[in-house]
Chain A
Amino acid sequence: MGAIRVPSPRGAFRVWQRNVTIFRKYWKSIMFPNFIEPLLYLAALGLGLGAFIQQGGINGQSYIQYIAPGLLASNAMFAASFESTFNTFVKFEINKIYDAIITTPVNAEDVVAGEYLWAGTRAALYGTAFLAVLTVLGFAFGEPLISSWWALFIPPALLVIGVMFSVMGTLFTSLIQRIDFYAYYFTLVVTPLFLFSGIFFPVENFPAPVPQIAWFTPLYHAVNLCRALATGPSLATLVDAAWILVFTAGLALVPVQIMRRRLIG
């Protein structure tokens, strides 16, 4: 069959630009739920459940301080996952937007890469707004939720994390024929990652092989990275960052090839 297709940055940028154009029209009405959801977790678990967690908290942090940076990572996962599943499916199979784009000098592979970048951008936008709220709330509570200047690197980190989850979501999208199948993806992939990636409790305390399994999953490293940037990183943070980059780069071209084959007969 044909050679492996590599996207052109120019084409990907044009697709990203289309999404930006549309987002600028609707962002006020669509951003709210994404933004409010992590606040609900923070209130219910951080304050509600947190009140029952014995003094001393986890690793010297109060419970709300412990979970807040992890929620930044999961928020990016959710934003990029919705974008690369339901939104991409509608553009691809229902509105046939990609069929129109690929009759121009923008190729099918550029479309997929542009969607990765857009999902990453969206994750970073939501995450940055949420990061600002966490910072302000920290002052309000009198216990900082974000305590390091390294937190300035959280938005670019969320961009990369968003791209990573977009690659995963797009891979699933490239394999399914019906929109109903996303229930499997969210129930069997996204939700378990959300619960068992060290946002709400340290997975290291579990017996083997749970921590070992966690090491091989993407959100675990995203949570470590965000927590480290919020409180001050260590050398181990580089391992998490490298894991994310290697995993994303290794997988990124797979959905590109499958989507191209579905778009071009």
Chain B
Amino acid sequence: MIRTQSRTSTLIARELKKSYDGFEAVKGVDFEVYRGECYGFLGPNGAGKTTTMKMIYGAVIPTDGELEVAGLDVRRCEREIKRRIGVVPQENNLDDDLKVKENLLVYGRYYDLPRKVALRRAEELLEFVELTERAESPVDQLSGGMKRRLLIARALINDPEIVVLDEPTTGLDPQARHLVWDRLRALAAEGKTLVLTTHYMEEAARLCDRLVIMEGGLIIAQGSPKELIEEHVSPQVLEFRAGPEELERLRPVVEATADAVERTGEALLVFTADADTIMDRVRECGVEVENTVYRHAGLEDVFLRLTGRRLIE
């Protein structure tokens, strides 16, 4: 039952493209989001994530391709789509002339909510994002984390089917970030479809049922976090730390048995399904290693494998 429900698509993109004066921000992407799932867009800055989000909520018009949101064509049903989705933008754009609760009430009017309904929902949502005590505060007195929570509450005032969140935790401290994650999981549990962008691997791994990795306007991988790890990297990672010379000597030793080896500034990363064999080889070869870390491979490894270790601006 739940299975069939979750397999209904609510967001479909086919060969979706956007270019600005010759610059192609999104170069043709395909994705399909099922109802009730949390779907992530992971990627470095400039990968085209925000442009894709903006196409979903109507702030950017696609140059080419198809995009259906809640079963409606974005080019033809702008207002109806916006009525059925909620948006948490990357940039804080709360109404500074209004207090916390007023922000929600005025926003509710844009959706033609009757005053009583808006008032009840505003109070419930302030409770939900733990801002009830700040209901009468001016917005500019809120911390960054509180503003982000208020943005989330605002995106929910119309009880949307789909919530689009563009980097919902960027710039937040760890406490604030965990609170936002907790609230987003609560929304997912309620059955809302969440579409979010992030460049935090941990966030994607914790929240997303499925995700895509974008780079340079293209989707370069997609799947569940687990599938992506299985498909693109080996399950175990050994990180050896030593001086540059030792690392160069160690490299040929491990390369023979490892699935992949990557060199970062001060460490050698070894991907393998059999860490014990590698460890034995390293001990036998006699190269002095300062420090060894053993861990499971994560999304970050997938991400760095696919997008490279160079700095992407």
Contacts and interface: CB of A to CB of B under 8 A. Distances in A.
Interface residues of A, number: 24
Contact of A104 (B91, B97, B110): B110
B91 A99 contact: yes
Given A14-B109, A21-B106, A103-B89, A95 B83 contact: no
8 contacts: A17-B106, A18-B95, A100-B93, A101-B110, A103-B87, A104-B82, A104-B111, A265-B51
A99 B60 contact: no
Contacts of B98: 21-22
B147 to A, nearest CB: 12
Contact of B93 (A22, A96, A106, A265): A96
A105 interface: yes
B59 interface: yes
Interface string A99-117: 1111111110000000000
Contacts of A103: 57-59, 82, 87, 89
B106 A96 contact: no
Contact of A14 (B58, B89, B110): B110
A17 B102 CA distance: 13
Interface in A4-22: 10-11, 14, 17-18, 21-22
A265 B20 contact: yes
A97 B95 contact: yes
Interface of A: 2, 10-11, 14, 17-18, 21-22, 25, 95-97, 99-107, 263-265
B93 A18 contact: no
B96 interface: yes
B159 interface: no
Interface of B: 18, 20, 51, 54, 57-61, 78-80, 82-83, 87, 89, 91, 93-98, 102, 106-107, 109-112, 154, 158
Contacts of A10: 112
B89 A100 contact: yes
Contacts of A265: 18, 20, 51, 54, 59-61
Given A14-B110, A17-B106, A264-B61, 16 more contacts: A14-B109, A18-B106, A18-B109, A22-B98, A95-B96, A100-B95, A102-B58, A102-B59, A103-B57, A103-B89, A104-B111, A105-B83, A105-B112, A263-B59, A265-B54, A265-B59
Nearest to B94: A100
Contacts of A104: 82-83, 107, 110-111, 158
Given A96-B93, A100-B89, A265-B20, A17 B109 contact: yes
A149 B107 CA distance: 42
Contacts of A101: 110
